[in-house]
Amino acid sequence: MEPKTVLEAVGDTSALENVGRHWEESMAAMPPGSPEFLLDPVWRENVRWCGFEGELDEPLARAAAVIRGNEALRRLAWHAYWRVFLAPAPAAPVDWPEPVRHLGDDAGLFYLIVGVAGVPLVRRHHRALGIPENVTRETTQQVKRYCDDMYRAGNGGRPGLYQGQMGWLRHYTREKYVRLGRLEYWLGPNPYRLEAYRSIPTGRVAALAADGTRFTENGLILRDPARYREGEGWTATLLHGEHTTTGWLIDPDGFCTRRRVGLPTSEWTCVLKHEDPVLMMHIPSGGRMTPEACRDSLERAAAFFPEHFPDEQPRAVVCTSWIFSPVLQKIFPPEANLCMFQKELYLFPAPSGAWDGLWFVFLRRNRPDDLSELPRKSSLQRGIADYLRRGKEWYAGGMFLLMDDIPRFGSQFYRSNRPLHLSDVSK
């Protein structure tokens, strides 16, 4: 069957261009009969590993039986699975239809079955890396989080999986990526170009902006160059001299200052730069971000990765996310969990659009013209919605926490030890 015929059987051909990509390669790899992940014993085991405790067994059994018995749905399910987990390069589904015609209210389960089908791949990958089974079980909880905290919230409580989140599941099957308590970590090269330096005499940390970074007047970065006002802001330089490193100082509250400072190489050593080994942090939904939960996870990570990957000692934990937006400090009280977490980290500005990351808050792909349409069910939604309705701009942000500073978590080390007495250099 060709992709057009499959989509016609489903009842929606609007995604034909995307579905058609890699169709021949996918169909050539499709096993005869029904893909294994559609068989009852297989999907049942997969959903248990993801933390579902039987609450979906009956609707999943119905949905899997319908998919197995319909050639068009079998091929579409296999194609989605192949695109997410087996394709040589990432090629996740985009705006594919849910088979409402065949599954009715169970239509969201179509992609949920595909999502949990990655569990055997994660288990095999983790065994090859020597990762203990209990950590693998923690890691495979992500599909349940996507289902319960995202899809159900946006679909009247019905279970399923958003296609926009399926592509992320591929990482669990390929990277040195695990969940440890409240947070997840991915060992790899640092993708960010700012540099961090530690004072040899005092232990204080100073971050310098990457060379060529353009900032707004308030020290933030816009993803779209067209959003900069003419003549606004400045462009950073970063110079590595024989005796001094000169650059623009980033404040740990998440903005670049207008200070161009010099760090004597005899007193300051570089502790984080582009492509150094780091733990890229992912913050899954579900569960409160209490300081205790975050500390526990970070301490587990500090012990876990040197033990299991001794040849790749990470320098820091890093991340960019809406959760590290400096805006949140203006919206919520200091005792809010997200604000307390931010204060333990060195925040830095990251390229940002006006809606970056807010899908996770409002489950809406784009910012509506009428902001009164935004949902206001939680204090988080109400706070951000009210901020935007006042005409304020939204920015995402980034963070790093040096591995050596994880034992200091809880002391607001970077804020209480700002390097205030650095020498300014002429601009």
Q: What is the pLDDT of residues 357-367, one digit of tens each?
A: 999 999 998 99
At residue 286, does pLDDT exceed 90?
no
Sign of CA dihedral 38, 41, 46, 51: positive
What pLDDT is recorded for position 411? 97
Q: Which residue has the tokens 């440890």?
A: 180
Does the predicted TM-score (pTM) go above 0.85? yes
Contact 98, 154 (CB under 8 A): no
pLDDT at 423: 84
Contact, 121 vs 136, CB < 8 A?
no
pLDDT on residue 210 = 98
Query: How many Cβ atoms from other residues are within 10 Å of residue 280's Cβ?
Result: 22
Q: What is the pLDDT of residue 166?
A: 95
Sequence-distant (≥ 6) Cβ neighbours of residue 23 within 8 angstroms: 2, 3, 79
Q: Which two tokens stand for residue 123?
A: 């288990």
Q: What was the pLDDT predicted at 419? A: 86
Q: What are the φ and ψ backbone dihedral angles of 204, each rounded to 5 degrees?
A: -65, 160
Integer Cα distance of 91 and 422 in angstroms: 48
C-alpha distances in angstroms, 123 versus 130, 135, 142, 200, 360? 10, 10, 14, 43, 27
Specify the DSSP element, H or E, that contains 294: helix 291-308
pLDDT at 287: 81
> 53 is written with which tokens?
């405790």
Average pLDDT of span 394-411: 97
Cα–Cα dist 350/348, whole Å: 6
> What percentage of the chain exceeds 70 in pLDDT?
100
| Phi/psi of residue 286, nearest 5 degrees | 95, 120
**Which pLDDT score, from 0 to 100, does residue 427 have?**
63
Q: Is the pLDDT of residue 386 over 80?
A: yes
At 216-253, the pLDDT tens digits run 999 999 999 888 988 888 999 999 999 999 999 999 99
What does the alpha-carbon distance between residue 286 and residue 394 come to, in Å, rounded to a whole number? 23
Number of H helices, E strands in the chain: 19, 15
From CA 312, how far away is CA 310, in angstroms rounded? 6
Provide the β-strand partners of residue 208.
Answer: 195, 249
